[in-house]
Amino acid sequence: MTMPPGKRTALERQRARERAARDAEVTRLHVRVRELEHTNEALGKAIGLLHLMSEQEPDAIPTRTDPSDSSTPITRSSSS
Protein backbone atom coordinates (compact mmCIF):
# COMPACT_ATOMS: atom_id res chain seq x y z
CA MET A 1 0.00 0.00 0.00
CA THR A 2 1.38 3.37 -0.98
CA MET A 3 0.97 6.55 1.00
CA PRO A 4 0.84 10.02 -0.53
CA PRO A 5 4.00 12.05 0.18
CA GLY A 6 2.10 14.72 2.13
CA LYS A 7 0.53 12.18 4.45
CA ARG A 8 3.87 10.40 4.93
CA THR A 9 5.54 13.70 5.82
CA ALA A 10 2.78 14.56 8.30
CA LEU A 11 3.09 11.12 9.89
CA GLU A 12 6.88 11.47 10.16
CA ARG A 13 6.47 14.88 11.80
CA GLN A 14 3.95 13.48 14.27
CA ARG A 15 6.29 10.61 15.17
CA ALA A 16 9.17 13.05 15.57
CA ARG A 17 7.07 15.16 17.97
CA GLU A 18 6.09 12.07 19.95
CA ARG A 19 9.73 10.95 20.10
CA ALA A 20 10.84 14.40 21.24
CA ALA A 21 8.13 14.42 23.94
CA ARG A 22 9.22 10.97 25.15
CA ASP A 23 12.88 12.03 25.18
CA ALA A 24 12.00 15.18 27.14
CA GLU A 25 10.02 13.11 29.65
CA VAL A 26 12.89 10.63 30.06
CA THR A 27 15.31 13.51 30.64
CA ARG A 28 12.95 15.10 33.17
CA LEU A 29 12.60 11.79 35.01
CA HIS A 30 16.37 11.25 35.06
CA VAL A 31 16.82 14.69 36.63
CA ARG A 32 14.13 13.91 39.21
CA VAL A 33 15.77 10.57 40.05
CA ARG A 34 19.10 12.35 40.62
CA GLU A 35 17.38 14.90 42.86
CA LEU A 36 15.75 12.15 44.91
CA GLU A 37 19.03 10.21 45.16
CA HIS A 38 20.77 13.34 46.50
CA THR A 39 17.91 13.91 48.93
CA ASN A 40 18.11 10.32 50.16
CA GLU A 41 21.86 10.64 50.59
CA ALA A 42 21.49 13.85 52.59
CA LEU A 43 18.75 12.33 54.76
CA GLY A 44 20.91 9.26 55.37
CA LYS A 45 23.78 11.46 56.51
CA ALA A 46 21.47 13.48 58.75
CA ILE A 47 20.08 10.32 60.32
CA GLY A 48 23.61 9.03 60.86
CA LEU A 49 24.59 12.28 62.58
CA LEU A 50 21.51 12.13 64.78
CA HIS A 51 22.42 8.59 65.81
CA LEU A 52 25.97 9.69 66.63
CA MET A 53 24.71 12.62 68.65
CA SER A 54 22.26 10.48 70.60
CA GLU A 55 25.00 7.93 71.36
CA GLN A 56 27.28 10.65 72.72
CA GLU A 57 24.69 12.21 75.01
CA PRO A 58 24.66 10.82 78.52
CA ASP A 59 21.34 9.36 79.65
CA ALA A 60 21.38 11.23 82.92
CA ILE A 61 24.09 13.01 84.88
CA PRO A 62 23.75 12.34 88.59
CA THR A 63 23.95 15.40 90.79
CA ARG A 64 25.73 15.46 94.12
CA THR A 65 23.74 16.77 97.03
CA ASP A 66 26.42 16.24 99.70
CA PRO A 67 29.48 18.44 98.97
CA SER A 68 31.68 16.05 100.97
CA ASP A 69 30.72 13.11 98.72
CA SER A 70 33.34 13.03 95.95
CA SER A 71 32.06 9.83 94.26
CA THR A 72 29.53 11.71 92.14
CA PRO A 73 30.58 14.63 89.88
CA ILE A 74 29.28 18.11 90.58
CA THR A 75 27.05 19.50 87.86
CA ARG A 76 26.13 23.08 87.34
CA SER A 77 22.69 24.21 86.45
CA SER A 78 22.19 25.91 83.11
CA SER A 79 20.94 29.08 84.79
CA SER A 80 24.34 30.01 86.32
First to last CA, the chain: 95
Residue 2: band (very low, low, confident or very high) from pLDDT cuts 50, 70, 90? confident
Contact (Cβ atoms closer than 8 angstroms) between residue 38 and residue 29: no
Residue 61's pLDDT is: 61
The pTM of this model reads: 0.56
Residue 27's pLDDT is: 98
Q: What would you report as the CA-atom Rg of the chain, rounded to the nearest whole angstrom?
A: 33
Amino acid sitting at position 25: E
Summarize pLDDT for 22-34 with one digit per residue, the tens.
999 999 999 999 9
Decide which of 31 and 76 is more confident.
31
